[in-house]
Amino acid sequence: MELLRTKMPESLQHAGLVKDLCRYISDEYLQGDKGSLLRDSLGISSNDRCHEINGYIPDVIARIFKGPIQCVLGEAKTSRDIETKHTARQLESYLDYCSQITNNALLVVAVPWAYHRLARQIICVIVKRKKFDISKVVVPAIFKA
């Protein structure tokens, strides 16, 4: 018997960031084709839901069949959770995964615009400490939530 994963209630800010993140990844890496997007959202069927990566479940996974990038992990962070230890461990875990896929994976982090600089600083600390490739991370400064 498969146990259903319980999910914490999603804030409106987080839901908006995930929606914008899906649109950004689709436009930038899938040329608008959302069929290759997996999401970790309520109401999504198990076939379209993200799977665990290194102990955490990203908000979005894009599988790309054409082009130099094969996988894009997307993670949305609100103003309330950008500075938590959980977030640092989660981002480190995703960067580790991206590093294992040589040059074919990216992590896209969506944060409210006012937290863009802070998010980049947090990521830079992780990248420097773990010697990850900073080019594996994209923190677009476009999200309003």
Q: Which carries the bigger pLDDT value, residue 25 or residue 10?
A: 25
Residue 107 pLDDT: 94
Q: How many CA atoms lie within 13 A of 62 on its CB side?
A: 31
- Distance of alpha carbon 3 from alpha carbon 100, whole angstroms: 29
Residue 125 pLDDT: 94
Residue 102 pLDDT: 63
Q: Indicate if the pLDDT at residue 90 is higher than 50.
A: yes
Count of domains for the chain: 1
pLDDT in tens, 94-143: 999 998 876 689 999 999 999 999 999 999 999 999 998 888 888 887 76
In a domain, 42, yes or no: yes
Range of the domain at 55: 12-138
Residue 9 pLDDT: 56
In a domain, 5, yes or no: no
| pLDDT, averaged across the chain | 84
In a domain, 34, yes or no: yes
Query: What is the H or E stretch that residue 12 is in?
Result: helix 12-29
In a domain, 2, yes or no: no
Residue 94 pLDDT: 95
**pLDDT band, residue 30 (cuts 50/70/90):** confident
In a domain, 69, yes or no: yes
What pTM, to 2 d.p., does this model score?
Answer: 0.85
Strand partners, 107: 73, 137
In a domain, 29, yes or no: yes
Residue 2 pLDDT: 39
- Distance of alpha carbon 52 from alpha carbon 58, whole angstroms: 7
For the residues 35-54, what does the mean pLDDT come to? 77
DSSP 35: G
Angle made by CA atoms 127, 22, 66, in degrees to the nearest 5: 80
In a domain, 78, yes or no: yes
**pLDDT band, residue 3 (cuts 50/70/90):** very low
CATH number of the domain residue 27 falls in: 3.40.1350
In a domain, 1, yes or no: no
Residues written for the chain? 145
pLDDT in tens, 49-62: 788 899 999 999 99
